[in-house]
Structure 1
Amino acid sequence: MNGVSCIYRDEHIIILDKEAGVASTRLEGSSLPTVEDWLMQNIPSVAANGGGLVNRLDNLTSGLIVAAFTADDLFEMRALWKKREVEKEYICLVIGSAPPEGRITTLIAHHPTRSNKMIVVKDLEEAKLLKARAAETEFWVLEDMFEYTLLRVRIYGGVRHQVRVHLSSIGFPIAGDELYKKEKHKRRDWLGLSRHFLHASRISFVSPFDGKRLEFDSPLPRDLEEALAKAKGMK
C-alpha cells in the first residue's frame, strides 16, 4: 500500500513516515488505510511477536511514527513515552502573528460531549472530574508572515490532539484545522487546505536497548510546502 515508508529499522524498532489520510490504527467504520495495515503487509513478524505501534498520529497529520518488533520491545519503548524521555517535534502553520516563543502547560481532557474533540482544563475540580492529563508544549517561531506564522513545536510524552488544542487555546489555531478553529479564525484562514498544517518532523530518544541517541527527521510533504509558499507569497 502507498502512504507509508520505512526510513529506519534495526532488530528492535522501525521508524515509519506516513502521509496525511493514512490512519495509525483501524477504527470502527473507517475505510482509511492504516499504518498497522502496512506493517501487516510488509513486516508481519511484528504482529506475530506481539509488537506494534509505539505512538500514533491523527489521520490528517503526516510524519514520523515508531513501531516495535516484539512485545518486550514495545514495553521498553512505551516506557520512554511514559517517562517523557522522547523529544517529538512538529512543524505547523498557525493563523495570526504568534509570539517569538512560548510554553503551554494547561491540562488536557476529552470533551464531555464530543468524542472527537479535546479541551484544555484550568479548573482543578473540573480537571479531576474529566480525568485531565498533564501536557507540555513548547514552540518557537521559524517565520512570521503576519497572517500566518510558521512554528517549530516540541512536546514531551503526548496527549491526543495536544499540539492542536494547546495552540488553539492561546489564540493561534493551526491552519486548516476545522475542529479547533473558531469562526473568527475560519474567516482569516484563506489557504484552502484540505487538512491541518501539522507535520511530525523530528523524533529523538536514547535507545533503551544500547544507550545510543537516535534522531530521525522527516521533511515537509509537498502539499504543505505548496501551502507555505502560498502563504509566503502574500507576506
Structure 2
Amino acid sequence: MGLEFLSFFVEKGPLSLRDFLKCKLPLSGRGIKRVLDRGWVFLNEERIFKAGAWVFPGDKVEVLLADYGRDYEVLYKDDFLLAVSKPPFLLTNESKDSLEALLNEDGYRVRAIHRLDSETSGVTLFAKGEEVFEAFKELFKNRAIDKIYKVIAEGSVKEDLFKVDFPIEGREAITIFKVLKRAKIATYLEAKLLTGRKHQIRIHLLKKGYPVVGDKLYRKGKIEEEALRKVPRNMIHCEKISFRHPFTGEYVQIVSPLPQDFVMTLKRLF
C-alpha cells in the first residue's frame, strides 16, 4: 500500500480548512471529504474532521494519504464455513459495499457470523446457510470460540500481563492483554477477548490509560509524536480464531497474517 504524509504551514488567512486543502491537494471535493472522514487531517497536531473549521496564518496542517483496496484473502473454507481476512476500511456487512456483499458478488453465498469494525483487519467468519449461522452464533454466545488480536497502544505499558474487567453499555466485558514489545511511545500487545462487546479493545485499553494507536473515536487531544500521526487507522488486527467445529467435530484454528500497514507501523514504532 502507498502512504504519504504531507505537512503545510498556513501563510494566508483566515480560510476554511476545505478551501485550504483544495489549494494544497490534488483531490476532488469527494476526496477531501474522504480524508477528513477517515481522520487523516491534523490541525496543529490534533485530528480534525470538520471541513468548515478555520485555519489561520502560522497554523500547521498535516495530511495523511493512503491507498487501501478491497482485496480479501480466503483463509479457510469447508461445506459449512468460509473464513476470510478482512482488509481495513471495509464494513463487514449491512452495506452494498461490505465484505459480505463482495463475497456474495463473487459467488460464495454467505452471511457474516460476527463483525469487525470498519478499520479493524483480520479473521472474519461467514456461514453457508442459516443452520450454520445459528450454530456459530451459539458458539459465540457460549464463549466457545477463542479470539486473539494483535494491537498497538500508545505509551509504554508497565504490566506484562493484565486483565481488564470493565462493563461496556452495562454488559460484562473482559479482555486479557499480554505485552509483546515495548517502545518509548508505544506498546505491542496480544489481546484475548473473553467477551465480544463493541469497541471492547479500544475501550479497555483507554480505561488503562493507553489508547489504541490510530483510534479516532476515543482518543482526544493533541498527538505530539509525528510517528503516531502517520498511522492511518486503529492498529487492531484479529489474528486468530479457534473453535471445535459444530458440524465436523474437528478443532479448527484460523490465522490471518499481519497486513502490510500493521507491519509498517511496527517497523516505524519499534
What is the TM-score of this pair, normalised by structure 1?
0.80
Contact 1:104–1:166 under 8 Å retained in 2: yes
1:35 CA drift (Å): 1.1
Contact 1:205–1:214 under 8 Å retained in 2: yes
1:95 CA drift (Å): 0.5
Provide the rounded CA distance (Å) in 2 between the counterparts of 1:68 and 1:84. 18
Q: How does 1:1-235 map to 2 (within 5 A)?
A: 2-27=70-95, 33-46=97-110, 52-98=111-157, 99-109=159-169, 132-183=170-221, 186-188=223-225, 190-191=227-228, 192-232=230-270
Identical amino acids, percent of aligned pairs: 29
1:169-223 per-position Cα deviation (integer Å, ceiling 9, x unaligned): 1101110102111326x33573211111111111111111122111011111111
Larger-Rg structure? 2
SS in 2 for 1:73: helix
Going from structure 1 to structure 2, the CA distance change for 1:147 and 1:195 (only over 3 Å counts) comes to: same
1:13-51 per-position Cα deviation (integer Å, ceiling 9, x unaligned): 111111101111135xxx7x31111221123533xxxxx
Contact 1:86–1:156 under 8 Å retained in 2: no
SS in 2 for 1:45: coil
Q: Structure 1: which amino acid aligns with 2:237?
A: H
Q: Structure 2: which amino acid aligns with 1:102?
A: F
Contact 1:95–1:189 under 8 Å retained in 2: no
1:127-178 per-position Cα deviation (integer Å, ceiling 9, x unaligned): xxxxx11111001000011211000101023011111111111101110102
SS in 2 for 1:157: coil
Going from structure 1 to structure 2, the CA distance change for 1:160 and 1:212 (only over 3 Å counts) comes to: same
Contact 2:75–2:256 under 8 Å retained in 1: no
Q: Structure 1: which amino acid aligns with 2:264?
A: E
SS in 2 for 1:84: coil
Q: Which consecutive segments of 4 or more residues in structure 1 shift more than 4 A? A: none
- In the alignment of these two chains, the number of paired residues is 200
| Cross-structure match for 1:124 | none
Greater RCO (Cα-Cα under 8 Å, separation 6 or more): 1
1:85-109 per-position Cα deviation (integer Å, ceiling 9, x unaligned): 1111111110011121110111001
Q: Aligned Cα RMSD in Å?
A: 1.7
Q: Structure 2: which amino acid aligns with 1:73?
A: V
